[in-house]
Amino acid sequence: MKAVGLHPDVVVVTSRFWQTTCTLVRSGEEAFCIDSPVLPDELEILPSIAEQARFRVVGLLLTHADFDHVLGRYAFPDAPLGVPESTAARLRNEPGAAQRELRAFDDEHYVERPGPLSLGRPETTQALPVPGHCGIGERELELHPADGHTEDGMAVWIPWARVLVCGDYLSPVEIPWISEHGSATAYLATLRRLAPLVEQADHVVPGHGAVLDGTRAAAILGEDVAYLEALLERGADAPLPLARRSGAQRRIHAENVGRVAAAV
Ligand SMILES: [Zn+2]
């Protein structure tokens, strides 16, 4: 697992699996852990990484409810969980879904965990109004809606560090992925909403893949808008972004084609 400091108050760790990112953000005596790495040893070492950097983690935030992002409680079992209202609704509507998907993943890859995934009791989960703000130490994080990949989601803007943590958007390794309850038009709207933040960003942390500088993130945003517009117009014939045309990306594209056709 890789850990990179983007700012004295922002550290990003990247999982060896799917390059899933987890962002630690601090203000004064309080730090939050946004999303999570995937593998058990990475989750085990995360508290010491935070401690060494003097980040006192007092809460977890989720960009969305996909199982690969929600494992922070393995690292910080007592931390309260903050989620966008859309994610709170998804967790209510699909109880146990993340746990089932995690079990299937662990079965397939022979991964052993110290115990079942706990997303905690409802009273330790706070539904955050999005768009909105979330206090941390003496400062505030900005929360922006980010749906389309899934039906839920938020992007977190860290104003004093000029870092955008955007969840499963703007990935240098993955094309836009319209999952089961996602929507290509909502995805496009999210990209347009994120554009002004990307423009001000020193760093953009995608849900999967390396941290981007603002210029690179803006280029990916342009490619992703072009891909989605072509997907809506031409379906299967839409060209994939040049650097993201592997077999795995073509499979995601085929899935997207089916979703867009089903949505019409
Ligand atoms: Zn993901």
Residues, CB within 5 angstroms of ligand 1 (ion)? 66, 68, 168, 207
Q: What pLDDT score was predicted for residue 22?
A: 98
Q: What pLDDT score was predicted for residue 118?
A: 86
The alpha carbon of 261 and the centre of ligand 1 are apart by a number of angstroms equal to 23
The alpha carbon of 141 and the centre of ligand 1 are apart by a number of angstroms equal to 21
> What predicted TM-score, i.e. pTM, was given to this entire model?
0.96
The alpha carbon of 94 and the centre of ligand 1 are apart by a number of angstroms equal to 17
The two beta strands, 163-167 and 154-158, are antiparallel
Q: What pLDDT score was predicted for residue 154?
A: 98
The alpha carbon of 233 and the centre of ligand 1 are apart by a number of angstroms equal to 26
The alpha carbon of 138 and the centre of ligand 1 are apart by a number of angstroms equal to 30
Per-residue pLDDT of the chain (264 residues; tens, 9 = 90+): 889 999 999 999 999 999 999 999 999 999 999 999 999 999 999 999 999 999 999 999 999 999 999 999 999 999 999 999 999 999 999 989 999 999 999 999 999 999 999 886 666 789 999 999 999 999 999 999 999 999 999 999 999 999 999 999 999 999 999 999 999 999 999 999 999 999 999 999 999 999 999 999 999 999 999 999 999 999 999 999 999 999 999 999 999 999 999 987
The alpha carbon of 41 and the centre of ligand 1 are apart by a number of angstroms equal to 19
Going by C-alpha positions, the residue among 52, 58, 73 that lies closest to residue 26 is: 58
Q: What is the DSSP string of 185-235?
A: HHHHHHHHHHHHHHHH-SEEEESBS--EEHHHHHHHHHHHHHHHHHHHHHG
Q: What pLDDT score was predicted for residue 263?
A: 84
Which DSSP symbol is given to 184?
H
The alpha carbon of 167 and the centre of ligand 1 are apart by a number of angstroms equal to 7
* Residues 171 and 207 sit within 8 Å (Cβ to Cβ): yes
Q: What pLDDT score was predicted for residue 122?
A: 66
The alpha carbon of 206 and the centre of ligand 1 are apart by a number of angstroms equal to 9
* Residues 144 and 157 sit within 8 Å (Cβ to Cβ): yes
